[in-house]
Amino acid sequence: MKLTLPPLLLGLCVALSVAGPARANVEPRKAALHKVALHKAPAVSKAKSAGSRGVQVRRIAAVAETPARASFGQIQGLHSGGDALALKSSVALVIDQDTNEVLFSKNPTAVLPIASITKLMTGLVISESLQPLTDLLTISQDDIDTEKGSRSRLAVGTQLTRGEMMHLALMSSENRAANALGRYFPGGAEAFVAAMNLKAAALGMRDTRYVEPTGLSSKNQSSAQDLALLVKAAHRVPLLRELTTSQEAQVAVGNRMMQFHTTNGLVRSPQWDIGLQKTGYIAEAGRCMVVQAQLAGRKLIMVLLDSTGKYSRIGDAERIRKWLGTSAAAAPPLHHVS
């Protein structure tokens, strides 16, 4: 005996079988199960099946086009204004390290989150504290990122020297390593953050504030003008120059050796002579980068903040480098910074 469903109930079954997930973030397994359900759905008609698949494709496309969380710079409208180099960064500053001449400037006083560029101040404070680099530090539960949920290759219980922690924090932007450096500071994490802010004040970084040593918090904020002062101060420290421009390192984690690499591909480029650098990213800050480099026969400091796109800060740096090699870069400086 053939069982025939009423038309209304049959339509409901078909709709349920081809309906896409309600949430925007579709897990791969759920997507796969949905494809199986679509394959096994009753073939009402070729036209209806094709129409259903078209609806599904449009739903998937809508999910793919869902915009990421806006950065502080986007919220402030800093991307609305263009610049001569068509940079993707909403904030940019290029100055001559020796003369303080400003060669390029775009929203240099805007105060924004600076993400892992924070670690450059972390390294500067540690280097000036004269704590032994050979002391063993241990990663603890306190070093786990509970704000952004970022991952780390340094498991709780990992022991590395202070020097190795600094290396991984500055080269590979290891958050747990940076946090451990702050915890082991005399007086603990609170005293370390206070030391970071005192150093910023001493350098004349009037628009800068730190609340923790990793940069995971969007409350760590600064301006391009302030960060140029930080880069200049950090570049005077040979250890910071060495660690930030290192391409890779091996460290013993437990019973095995682990390889870590730089977060900045420009360090490996033969077209760049980089003396110090640091990258950073959180959604609120966008892609960020500071660089000290020898370009066009000058020692320059470059600050790029709130860049959109995974590789856009590198693209912006390349645009600036090429521009510096043209006659346009020979024009008189915009002004001086104190």
Q: Which residues are catalytic?
A: 116, 119, 173
The helix (run of H) or strand (run of E) holding residue 29 is helix 28-40
**What DSSP string runs through 185-251?**
STTHHHHHHHHHHHHHHHTT-TT-B-SSSSS-STT-EE-HHHHHHHHHHHHT-HHHHHHHT--EEEE
Alpha carbons 116 and 170: distance in angstroms, whole number: 9
DSSP type of residue 41: S
Q: What angle do CA 34, 38, 39 make, to 5 degrees?
A: 120
Residues 6+ apart with CB under 8 A from 126: 162, 166, 181, 185
- Measure the N-to-C terminal CA separation of the chain; round to a whole number of Å: 92
279, 313, 275, 269: which is closest to 294 by C-alpha? 275
